[in-house]
A = this chain, B = another copy of it.
């Protein structure tokens, strides 16, 4: 039988990604700057982890303009919400058996 750790999702193997998903599950749509400030991260650190979550299909990135200023917002996809919920359940089973 496979150990419980193999039910944990690789895509969430970093505290920044846990934080991003936690914020996006609590808020429908969040801008890059709000997410950066909420999580107290640098641009590069946030961008690389969000890109990984986008690649996994868990976060949807929308680029718009407000006047002439670019505005990037993020949403968790339905797949991302389900995957994160499953990850939390697996974590709980592993860590609080």
Contact = CB atoms under 8 A, between A and B. Distances in A.
A19 B94 contact: yes
Which applies to chain A's interface (DSSP): helix, strand, loop or mixed?
Answer: helix
Contacts of A91: 18, 91, 95
A40 interface: yes
A39 B95 contact: no
A52 interface: no
Contacts of A5: 15-16, 18-19, 39-40
B38 A3 contact: yes
Contacts of A39: 3, 5
Contact of A95 (B4, B6, B13, B18): B18
Interface in A1-18: 2-6, 8, 10, 13-16, 18
Given A5-B19, A88-B96, 6 more contacts: A5-B16, A10-B15, A13-B14, A18-B94, A18-B95, A22-B94
